Amino acid sequence: MKNGMKKFIIVMVVLFMVVVNVPVLAANGWEFIDGRDRINLLGNTTVDENTSGDVIVIAGNVDVEADVDGDVVVVMGNLNLDAAVSGDVITLMGKVTLTDKARVMGDVVTLGSVDKADGAYIEGENSLIKFGYININSPDMNFLAMLRFVVLFFSLVLLLIFGLVVIYFTSQRFIVIEAGIEYGTGRKFVIGLLGLIASFIITILFCWTLIVPLVFLLLMLLAKVATCVYIGKMALKVSNARLNIYIEFVTGAIAIMLAEILLFMLIPQERVIQSILAGGLLNIAVNSLGIGILVDSKFGKSTI
């Protein structure tokens, strides 16, 4: 069996195990160590020894008690920082607690809340983005709007889990994809749009089979991961931040999430058709660019 097929099977098995074991993982989490980077999915974790890379936690709380020589990213979880972080601290939908021993050499960007002790130090900017007026329990929010927000929330979780697992097990391919990802964006988008249309037509023609729709779904997920890496790399280059494939992906995923939240807030809830069209156009653009990136890099082969 070829090495690429082995990795593909491993990724599919791991994703299946994550889905069927979500209640168990919620308590214990699933932790990956990739070189210097530390990744935890669906569980709480404690960083009690110095880490030379980034710390990424998805759907879990984290206590940082030792220094981190990189970034700390927490999505849908709380962060308690009691040490030094040489990079940025980014949290989405959670609370950040900075003790008097907390030292952040970069920026602190939070979509949630921040509790900062008097002795805590932030060298960069402290940006707090509040979306407190999005209340799914509000009587003014109809069922469809509430359903959209819930689907949006869980789709981000699944995208982050899928992307991090795929990048972890196929890191060499994604390093190749990421290397030239910022060049020829327009050409890649056109190629991807044509590929999206062709793959959609093929899926409709063979929808009675099981394998073709599954392959189409997998292609869309991989395309979204590639686009997240692209957006994240562009954003990090502008801010002169240290580039890392995992941080690039998470940053891009958060950016797409924020764009969808912005559409959610700007379009009135009663305009369901306009909301669906706007979300559909955004996803078409994201998937088209992603497919173009994958095709242009020959899905991450060493010779491009």
- Mention every residue, 6+ apart, whose C-beta is less than 8 A from residue 262: none
pLDDT, tens digit, 9 for 90 and up, residues 48-83: 888 888 888 887 889 999 999 988 988 878 899 999
CA distance 89 to 111: 11
pLDDT at residue 129, as a whole number: 60
Q: Are residues 200 and 230 part of one domain?
A: yes
Contact 57, 75 (CB under 8 A): yes
Q: Looking at the structure, do residues 236 and 109 belong to the same domain, yes or no?
A: no
CB neighbourhood size of 243 (10 A): 12
Q: Say what the pLDDT of residue 202 is.
A: 92
- In the prediction, which pLDDT does 123 show? 87
Q: What angle in degrees, to the nearest 10, is found between the helix axes of 272-296 and 245-266?
A: 160
Domain range enclosing 35 = 3-129
pLDDT the model gives residue 194: 94
Say if residue 70 is in the same domain as residue 98.
yes
Domain contains 136? no
Look at residue 107 in the predicted model and tell me its pLDDT: 84
> 152 and 291: one domain?
yes
- In terms of Cβ atoms closer than 10 Å to its own Cβ (0-12, 13-18, 19+), residue 85 is buried
**Ranges under pLDDT 70 in the chain:** 1-30, 34-35, 128-149, 239-242, 268-272, 300, 302-304
Same-domain check for residues 239 and 203: yes
**Planar angle of CA 228, 46, 107, nearest 5 degrees:** 50
Phi, psi of 79 (to 5 degrees): -120, 125
- Shared domain for 45 and 121, answered yes or no, is yes
Residue 75 inside a domain? The answer is yes
Say what the pLDDT of residue 290 is.
92
Encoded tokens for 7: 């990795």
Asked if residue 69 belongs to a domain, the reply is yes
Question: Do residue 37 and residue 121 come from a single domain?
Answer: yes
pLDDT of residue 269: 61
Give yes or no for a contact between 80 and 63, defined as CB atoms under 8 angstroms apart: yes
Domain assignment present for residue 135? The answer is no
Are 14 and 107 in a shared domain? Answer: yes
The domain boundary, picked from 75, 94, 129, lies at: 129
Structure tokens at 193: 């749009």
260 and 196 part of one domain: yes
pTM above 0.85, yes or no: no
Q: Tell whether 134 is covered by a domain.
A: no
* pLDDT tens string 257-286: 888 877 777 776 666 677 778 888 989 999
Tokens matching residue 300: 């991450």
How many residues can be counted in the chain?
A: 304
Domain boundary among 71, 95, 129: 129
Q: Does 167 lie in the same domain as 104?
A: no
Q: Give the pair of three-digit tokens for residue 293.
A: 């990136």
For residues 209 and 202, what is the distance between their CA atoms, to the nearest angstrom?
Answer: 11
Choosing from 106, 129, 152, the residue where a domain stops is 129
Q: Please indicate, yes or no, whether residues 41 and 124 belong to a single structural domain of this protein.
A: yes
Q: What is the pLDDT of residue 144?
A: 61
